Amino acid sequence: MAFESNKTITLLPVVANVINKFRFVTIESGGLVDETTAAADAVGVSQEESLATASVAIPVMLLDGGKIEVEAGATVTSGARVMSDATGRVIDATGATARVLGFALNGGAVGEAITIVSQKAAGEFVA
């Protein structure tokens, strides 16, 4: 599938964690990236899995309004506003303080890669 209007940059992951492919990531202290936590804001989506080392940068596709593949953490509804679960996977957006990170172009089940249209990193709240 073609992905338009996306910018990919490389960022170093946090040392202690493995970052899985197609997960929302956020910038942590020291400018390192980690998988986004539940309902939190994100800077982009990891395009490769990292090892548990900060010495090898991984490509991150920025949330800039383009189409991006993200791994589903639950059943995702086509057309729904989406957010991150506790491990950076995409789920339907719920809760008044959850950050909307985009819209699902297609639905999917847990573990499947679905396509979203991303929103800028400072996403809107659900409520």
72/43 same-domain check: no
Instruction: Let me know whether 72 and 46 are in one domain.
Output: no
Instruction: Tell me, yes or no, whether 2 lies in a domain.
Output: no
Whether 3 is in a domain gets the answer no
Q: Looking at the structure, tell me whether residues 83 and 107 fall in a common domain.
A: yes
User: Is residue 105 assigned to a domain?
Assistant: yes
Residue 89, domain member (yes or no): yes
pTM for this model (two decimals): 0.89
pLDDT tens readout for residues 71-99: 999 999 999 999 999 999 999 999 888 89
Domain check: are 13 and 58 in the same one?
Answer: yes
In which order are the strands placed within the sheet that holds 90-92? 67-71, 113-118, 102-104, 81-84, 90-92
Please list, in sequence order, all residues whose beta carbon lies within 8 angstroms of the beta carbon of residue 86, skipping any fewer than 6 positions away. 37, 38
Give the pLDDT score at 5.
Answer: 63
* Domain shared by 55 and 98, yes or no: no
